[in-house]
Every structure is written in structure tokens, then in C-alpha cells.
Amino acid sequence: MVHGLHFARRMRQTVTRSTLLRARALCALALCGVALVGCGNPLRAIDPRTGEVGTFDTEAMIPAGWIPCEGACDDVTVPGTLENGAPTSMFIVYQAENFVAPGVNREWIPMDVTPSTHGELWVVQRMARLPEFDEFTECTSRAQAGSPNDCVGLQGSTVALRDPSAMSQASGERANLVVDFNAWHFMRRPSAIAFGAESTTLPADDPRALDPSTGAPLLTEAATYTDIFATCHEHWTGNFTDQAAFIGPSLWTADPAIYNGGNGEYSWSNGSHLDMVHATQNCTGIAWERDNVYWALNGEEGTLDRYDFGVPHVPGAADHDDGEVTRYQLGDALGRVVDVPSNLWMDGTVLYIADTGNGRVVRFDTAQTMTEMGSFQTFEALTGQVMGGSAETIADAATLGALWGGVSEPSGLAMLDSETLVVANHASGHITLLSVDGEEIHTFDTGLGAGIGGLAVMDGAIYFAHMGERRVYRVDVDPTPILIVPQPEG
């Protein structure tokens, strides 16, 4: 079967009149006995992106990417892709299970997805808040004495999906779920996840390699932790909810010898995290820059917070004093929609942002000249700088709302390639391919309705979390050849 398609996106490539005249002059040499390819035998070619047809005197004059053809060029086909509007279907990669403990049976909700540094697709999950509690009453200090609470519901988890491109749903050994020993604090109501460096090193003589109780060295040589990732958390505190605010993103290793739900090897171990700096409330998005540096979307302040975790500590320890946080105000505050992730994507020095609460996609050049606005204190009393910069809206709420048939709540965001963004709408279930300047390339409806959370691209395929369905989906593209419909010349 061949699908016919008129291409709406115009990317004209033209040949100048002077180039044509030079080619025709060369062809005149054929009259002097000099044989030149193409002289007297014009060549035809078609642009597969636009359907534009051209006539050229030499093969060298055919623009890159055009396909040679004959006559009316009405029989040229190309494989179906997302960019050229091929039909799509949604394949269920993972169905979330329940958190089961004595007296507890709660549903896990996939929030965000990301490729790992070692070929897996990772999912970060949370539980829904019980309706009889809110963010201030769900886990007060009175819970220790047996008062009604939902402290268990604050825990987050991850699932490592092996071979997500397979044509079967991941389960069992292909879906490894981990709940950290102290996910109650270090992975509280997670909204986003991002993998970073392949490894990070803790020198044996670093203060973070000392026993926090005795000061004795814990290492005889430097420790290297592999497959580093970070999570950020949508809550106003990481402690009891009648105590002071104290929350921020956490740094982890995916090494199963460390990150496995156990509580570490020391009596003072507190889960398996490698670091945590407490300065961002109601975080909804996170992206890796380099080393142990990550950007987080501060849903409470409407800012971007840049974290340099510095040197990690021994897994489960608590020395976070070398962390550095810089806060960036972008003019118009970034907006949050409660319980909806807002993906960030770092491309060089440019950070792309799904500004969910304002219904738009923006980009922020982190290398721009900025203004010092003052300082602030993290919750552990580290001093951070506040910088003022500007962000550019590349697709506003009106534009995206028109594409998506109503409310615009961009949630999932990633790069398909160096020139193409993929953006998902939480409010409707649509996914749109945009150029990096905001031009629509293609929009399709997943048919799943409201509920898309985070989104990722892995090996050229799109994956997304659907919070309402409690599933992770892969977008499969029908490769059936598509007929290029030629457009009238001129």
C-alpha cells in the first residue's frame, strides 16, 4: 500500500540564474566536440520534503536530498517517517504494577522516562495522594505516634526497562523496580529523571569519604560510581509535613550493587543516594548539563535552578556542603500544573523548556550575558546567586492550542534529532514535531486522551509516560512507502 501525501512544510532550495547560465555555456562546448554529462539531456528531480520538482542541466546541480526522477515525477516514493506524516500506533512497553506492603496496596504512576547510560529506558514513578490528605497533613510528625497519615504514599520508585524496542511488554527481569530504602525523603513524589555522567569519582582523602560518626577514613583508594542519574521532586518539603521546608534534587548511581533498595553497609547509612542539595520546592523537570551539573525547574518560584553537586559522598551519607546552586529568573515566571511533569532538554548551551503552566515551549541560552540579581539561601544555609536572563518563546499557547484542539499543557519534550523537537500535550494526548525555531513539522493524536507526562527519544523512537493509563508507550511508525505528490513547477 502506498500513502499519498502533500507536504505542508516548505524548505525551498533554489538554483540561481547565473548557475544555470554557466552550465548552459559549458554545454555549448559540446558543439566543439567536448562531451559533457547532462548537456542536451535535462535532468529532473523532486524534493521529497515539499514535492517541488526541478529541471537541471547537470547532475551536480541537483540539490542535496532531492531524488532524480523522470517525466512528471509522479511515481516517487519514500519510506514513511514521523517527519513526513506516516501513520503511527502506540505500543504498550510497560504497565505499572502496585506497591504492596503489609496493609498497603497502592498504584504506581509512571511520571517520566529517560534513556540510561547503558541502553535501558528508565521510568520514575510515584503514588497518588489519598484524598483525605493534602500536602500539609499527609505525613506530620504525629504519624510517629500512630496518627492517621499517608507517609508511605510519599515514596517514589524507578523501573529499568530492558530492551524497550521489543515487540513484547516489559515485565519480570525486563522491568526491574527499585524503591530506595529512604525514598520517603530522597525520592519524594518524583516528577522527573535524567541520566548524566557515565561515572563520578570520590577521592579517598575527600571529607565526604570519612565516617560521619568517627571521622575515620572509609576508603583506601578513590571510589568510582557509574551510571549517574538525578531525580527531582514535586513537594514543598522532604521531611515531616508540619516541619520546615527541606527538599531538592537527588543524585544517584544506577549500579545495582548499590542502588537496589537496601540500606547500605554502614550503621548510619541512609538509603543509597550519592548527594542531595535542598533548594528547590515543587520541582517538575530536570536535565543534565555535564559532570554532576543539572538544571531543575523550580515550580514554586517559577525559576530555573542550576545544581553543581560537586563531589559525591559515600552512598547513604549526608555531607552535601560542596554543592552549588544558582537561580535564574527569566523575566516571565515559568508555570507549573500540579502533578504534571515539565520536561527540560539541554542541547549544548541551549535549554529547551516545556513551560506547562504557561502553555508554551521556550528556549534559554545559558551562555547569554546575564545580570546579577542578588543571592538566596538553600535550606541547608548554602549561599546561592540569583541571575537575571531572558528566554525566547518558540511556540506560544495560542499556536500550540490550535494544533492540539484546545488547552495547551506541554509536558513531554525531547530532541528527535539536532533540528527537531518532540513535544507532548498533557491536556489532549497529542504529540507534535517542531523545528528548533518552533515551526510545526507534523502533529498526531495518540488517541489516549489527557494524561501524558514525560517523554524521551531512544534510538530514534519516541517513548512517553501516560499517567492516566499508568503505562509507558512507544510510538511505532508505519514504514509503508509514501507517494510524493509533485507540486506545480514555479
Please return the burial class of 398, using the count of CB atoms within 10 Å of its CB with bins 0-12, 13-18 and 19+.
Answer: exposed
- In single-letter form, the type of residue at position 216 comes to A
The set of cell numbers assigned to 188 is 519524594
For residues 7 and 50, the answer to whether their CB atoms sit within 8 Å is yes
- Supply the Cα-derived Rg of the chain in whole angstroms: 27
The set of cell numbers assigned to 423 is 513535544
Tens digits of residue pLDDT in 88-108:
999 999 999 999 999 999 999
Look at residue 17 in the predicted model and tell me its pLDDT.
Answer: 38
Please return the burial class of 56, using the count of CB atoms within 10 Å of its CB with bins 0-12, 13-18 and 19+.
Answer: buried
Per-residue exposure over 435-463, b if at least 16 CB sit within 10 Å of its own CB, e if not: ebebebbbbbebebeebbbbbbbbeebbb
Residues 143, 146, 152, CA angle at the centre, nearest 5°?
55
Has residue 128 got a pLDDT over 90? yes
- The sign of the torsion formed by the CA atoms of 71, 77, 78, 83 equals positive
Query: What is the C-alpha separation between 63 and 212, in angstroms, rounded?
Result: 66
Tens digits of residue pLDDT in 22-70:
444 444 444 334 444 445 578 999 988 778 999 999 999 999 889 999 9
Has residue 386 got a pLDDT over 80? yes
Residues 6+ apart with CB under 8 A from 292: 196, 197, 200, 228, 251, 275, 308, 309, 310, 311, 312
Fold of 97-469: Neuraminidase (2.120.10)
CB atoms within 10 A of CB 22: 13
Look at residue 1 in the predicted model and tell me its pLDDT.
Answer: 38
Has residue 391 got a pLDDT over 60? yes
Has residue 413 got a pLDDT over 50? yes
Has residue 111 got a pLDDT over 80? yes
Mean pLDDT, the chain, rounded, equals 91
8-22, 105-119, 248-262: the lowest-pLDDT one? 8-22
Has residue 302 got a pLDDT over 90? yes
Q: What is the DSSP letter of 166?
A: S
User: 3-class SS at 350?
Assistant: strand
7-16, 94-103, 417-426, 456-465: the lowest-pLDDT one? 7-16
User: 3-class SS at 294?
Assistant: strand
Residues 6+ apart with CB under 8 A from 434: 361, 394, 395, 420, 421, 422, 423, 440, 441
3-state class percentages of the chain: helix first, strand second, coil last, to nearest 5: 10, 40, 50
Q: How far apart are the first and last CA of the chain?
A: 30
Look at residue 447 in the predicted model and tell me its pLDDT.
Answer: 96
pLDDT top residue among 345 and 267: 345
Has residue 298 got a pLDDT over 80? yes
Query: What is the C-alpha separation between 463 and 313, in angstroms, rounded?
Result: 33
The set of cell numbers assigned to 313 is 559522598
The set of cell numbers assigned to 107 is 498504584
Query: What is the C-alpha separation between 177 and 161, in angstroms, rounded?
Result: 9
DSSP 86-137: --EEEEEEEE--EEEETTEEEEEEEEEEEE-TTSPEEEEEEEPPPTT--TTT
Question: How confident is the model over 397-405, as a mean pLDDT?
Answer: 97
Cα distances (angstroms) measured from residue 67 to each of 2, 49, 58, 81: 18, 10, 14, 17
Look at residue 264 in the predicted model and tell me its pLDDT.
Answer: 85
Look at residue 39 in the predicted model and tell me its pLDDT.
Answer: 52
Query: What is the C-alpha separation between 67 and 373, in angstroms, rounded?
Result: 54
Closest CA to 266 of 314, 221, 332: 314
Has residue 345 got a pLDDT over 50? yes
Closest CA to 212 of 72, 314, 78, 93: 314
Tens digits of residue pLDDT in 173-186:
999 999 999 999 99
Domain definitions of the chain by residue range: 3-84, 97-469
